[in-house]
């Protein structure tokens, strides 16, 4: 059976945008997105718009609208975020079985790795986002946890026969040891789940005209604040300590960070490693994935994963980062 996205042709994209009242100039550019499909669409006598077509059966309508509402809450207090367009009183539209949302086009460049001045400003931005995120919970979006990001990921990989037989015992063994250690650290670490970005890598924090703005809240969910912080860090331990200090100086101007959550950095990194492999496995029926990730399923990839999980298990036994 063909994957639903195979029917999402350029003509269908243009028809969807025009179905809600916009007049396209027929220019369309596919942007870099795998989980959903995102296009820049030219509009007659106006700026191009960004059309995001949601992956079928991933989020409920309620969960998507909750993402939109969170974005508007941020925008209402002048946090620079790319919010969906409201058209005819709605942000979520449907055409030919696809749900889609339109956004204004906002360009920019990713932060420079390790730039302390930028990290201070990114910390301010994250602190403002989390101050809003902590005011109430999500009701329709799942929380980040050991079960869904860890145990469920391992089950997906084992049940789907994605791991070469020669490496299966090694991967399963280290993954189960890692998850046990992650569970122990989670249980021993006080933390509070808040609404957060959820996928806050530098590519989702764009700089334009010397101002940072946040994009792509598609993965926003409940989780510990440190999830949005650790992906900003790069380099060795000493470099990460300096970067963390700058981030926290900016962050704490707007929201109080509990330093005990720093013990969750390595557990969260471990969960992200396993979840990424499971994400590729779950999307393998999408033709874009075998084309874009041809190395998935090779012995080299899974050998590297066994090594990465072993290194992560070792990192979990080291002293966590601390603020001074």
Buried b (16+ CB within 10 A) or exposed e, 186-223: beebebebbbbbbbbebebbbbeeeebbbbbbbbbbbb
**What is the DSSP track for 188-249?**
HS---EEEE-S---GGGEEEETTEEEE---TT-EEEETTHHHHTT--SSHHHHHHHHHHHHH
Q: Which residues contact 294 (CB under 8 A, 6 or more apart)?
A: none
Task: Report the run of H or E that residue 43 belongs to, with start and end.
Answer: strand 37-43
Is 236 a catalytic site residue? no
- HSE-CB of 34 using CA atoms within 13 angstroms: 15
Q: Is 88 annotated as a binding-site member?
A: no
Cβ atoms of residues 176 and 154 within 8 Å? yes
Residue 102 makes CB contacts below 8 A (sequence gap 6+) with 17, 20, 22, 49, 50, 51, 52, 84, 85, 87, 93
Of 216, 218, 228, 286, which one is the catalytic site residue? Answer: 216
Containing 305, the helix (H) or strand (E) segment is helix 299-316
Q: Tell how far CA 228 is from the center of its chain.
A: 9
User: Distance between CA 199 and CA 105 in Å, rounded?
Assistant: 20
Marked catalytic residue, from 199, 218, 228, 286: 199
- Report the C-alpha gap between 218 and 65 in whole angstroms: 11
- Dist CA 15 CA 51 (whole Å): 12
Partnered with residue 272 across adjacent β-strands are none
Residue for token pair 């916009």: 22
117 is catalytic: no
Cβ distance 117 to 250 under 8 Å?
Answer: no
Q: Is 216 annotated as ligand-binding?
A: yes
Binding residues for Mg(2+): 204, 216
* Residue numbers annotated as active site: 199, 216
Binding residues: 204, 216
């Amino acid at each position: 059976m063909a994957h639903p996205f195979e029917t999402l042709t350029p003509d269908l994209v243009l028809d969807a945008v025009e179905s809600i009242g916009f007049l396209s100039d027929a220019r369309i550019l596919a942007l870099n997105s795998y989980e959903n499909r995102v296009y820049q669409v030219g509009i007659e006598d106006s700026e191009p718009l960004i059309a995001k077509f949601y992956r079928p059966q991933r989020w409920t309508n309620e969960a998507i609208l909750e993402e939109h509402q969170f974005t508007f809450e941020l925008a209402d207090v002048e946090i620079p975020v790319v919010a969906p367009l409201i058209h005819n009183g709605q942000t979520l539209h449907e055409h030919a079985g696809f749900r889609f949302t339109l956004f204004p086009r906002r360009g920019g460049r990713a932060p420079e790795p390790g730039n302390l001045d930028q990290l201070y400003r990114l910390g301010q931005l994250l602190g403002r986002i989390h101050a809003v995120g902590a005011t109430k919970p999500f009701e329709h979006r799942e929380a980040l946890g050991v079960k869904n990001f860890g145990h469920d990921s391992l089950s997906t990989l084992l049940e789907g026969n994605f791991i070469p037989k020669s490496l299966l015992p090694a991967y399963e063994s280290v993954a189960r040891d890692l998850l046990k250690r992650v569970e122990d650290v989670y249980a021993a670490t006080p933390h509070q789940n808040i609404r957060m970005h959820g996928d806050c890598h530098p590519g989702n924090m764009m700089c334009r005209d010397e101002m940072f703005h946040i994009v792509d809240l598609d993965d926003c969910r409940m989780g510990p604040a440190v999830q949005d912080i650790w992906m900003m860090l790069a380099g060795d331990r000493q470099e990460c300590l300096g970067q963390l200090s700058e981030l926290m100086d900016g962050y704490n101007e707007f929201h109080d960070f509990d330093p005990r959550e720093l013990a969750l950095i390595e557990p969260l990194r471990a969960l992200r490693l396993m979840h990424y492999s499971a994400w590729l496995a779950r999307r393998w029926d999408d033709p874009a994935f075998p084309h874009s990730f041809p190395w998935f399923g090779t012995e080299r990839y899974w050998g590297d994963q066994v090594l990465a999980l072993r290194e992560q298990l070792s990192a979990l036994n080291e002293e966590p980062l601390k603020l001074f």
